[in-house]
């Protein structure tokens, strides 16, 4: 069974890490891909590597017009949108006493507003076609709070709440739109590079010393998409076996 083949999948934050690994796996399984990220040069390299059934669009998820343009690219190039993966995210964790307001605002803009802009842009298309799947990347930090994670955890709790609210709303109107929350633990990506609080980064680096590869998350995404339309995989938590957080 391959329900991934020929599905039109839009992915934000597609230029590296979980996004890039997901692009690779879904492409192998025959998906048609529309990739958004701020680093256009990275997207161009991925597009050249895949070679077919892939469109790219420079996209900053904090800008609703750019998110709308990404969804419109999918519709114009492939005629529909079957799956949206809201993958773009930032994790500049810090202790609240450091008062890093710019980083707080950045996390809120990317991790919460970026997800909302994606949902808002794609929902009219999915409702019109009476099908679709929205996959939102949360985090283990959206299930448990620890010192230094207050704002980041707040954004990821919000992603879970937004996704569950979306699930209930779409189930109530019978739109056949599925939702999935995916909460990674320590994954070997660029995410920890955003941490400017040196004291905080030391502790996070200790947690991430046993980080698993992002293909673990890509496989979970592929699984959720591959399930039959009447089955909705609503939530995953995936962390290293050795991670106690």
The residues annotated as belonging to the active site are 152
Report the alpha-carbon distance of residue 222 to residue 83 in Å, rounded. Answer: 11
Residue 114 and residue 161 in contact, taking contact as beta carbons nearer than 8 Å: no
> Six-digit token pair at 221?
């995404």
Q: How far apart are alpha carbons 203 and 241 in whole angstroms?
A: 19
* Paired tokens of 141: 């930090």
**Nearest to 152, CA basis, from 200, 93, 208:** 93
- What is the CB-side half-sphere exposure of residue 117 using CA atoms within 13 A? 23
Q: Are 38 and 58 in contact (CB under 8 A)?
A: yes
Taking alpha carbons only, the member of 52, 77, 61, 51 closest to residue 11 is 61
Q: Which of 36, 41, 14 is nearest to 26 (CA)?
A: 14
At what angle are helices 64-78 and 114-129 packed, to 10 degrees?
Answer: 30
DSSP 165-229: HHHHHHHHHT--EEEEEEEE-SBSSSGGGG---HHHHHHHHHHGGGPBPTHHHHHHHHHHHHS-T
């Amino acid at each position: 069974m391959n329900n991934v083949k020929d599905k039109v999948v839009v992915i934000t934050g597609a230029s590296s890490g979980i996004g890039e690994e997901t692009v690779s796996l879904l492409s192998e399984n025959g998906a048609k891909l529309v990739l958004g990220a701020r680093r256009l040069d990275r997207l161009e390299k991925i597009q050249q590597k895949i070679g077919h059934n892939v469109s790219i669009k420079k996209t900053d998820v904090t800008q609703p017009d750019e998110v709308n343009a990404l969804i419109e690219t999918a519709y114009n190039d492939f005629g529909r949108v079957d799956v949206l993966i809201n993958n773009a995210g930032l994790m500049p964790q810090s202790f609240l006493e450091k008062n890093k307001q710019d980083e707080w605002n950045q996390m809120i803009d990317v991790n919460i507003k970026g997800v909302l802009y994606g949902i808002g842009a794609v929902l009219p298309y999915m409702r019109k076609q009476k099908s679709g799947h929205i996959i939102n990347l949360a985090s283990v930090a959206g299930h448990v709070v620890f010192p230094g994670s207050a704002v980041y955890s707040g954004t990821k709790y919000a992603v879970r709440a937004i996704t569950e609210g979306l699930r209930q709303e779409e189930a109530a109107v019978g739109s056949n739109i599925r939702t999935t929350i995916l909460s990674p633990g320590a994954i070997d990506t660029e995410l920890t590079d955003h941490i400017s609080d040196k004291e905080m980064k030391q502790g996070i680096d200790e947690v991430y010393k046993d980080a698993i590869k992002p293909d673990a998350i890509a496989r979970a995404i592929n699984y959720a998409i591959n399930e039959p339309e009447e089955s909705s995989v609503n939530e995953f938590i995936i962390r290293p076996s050795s991670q106690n957080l």
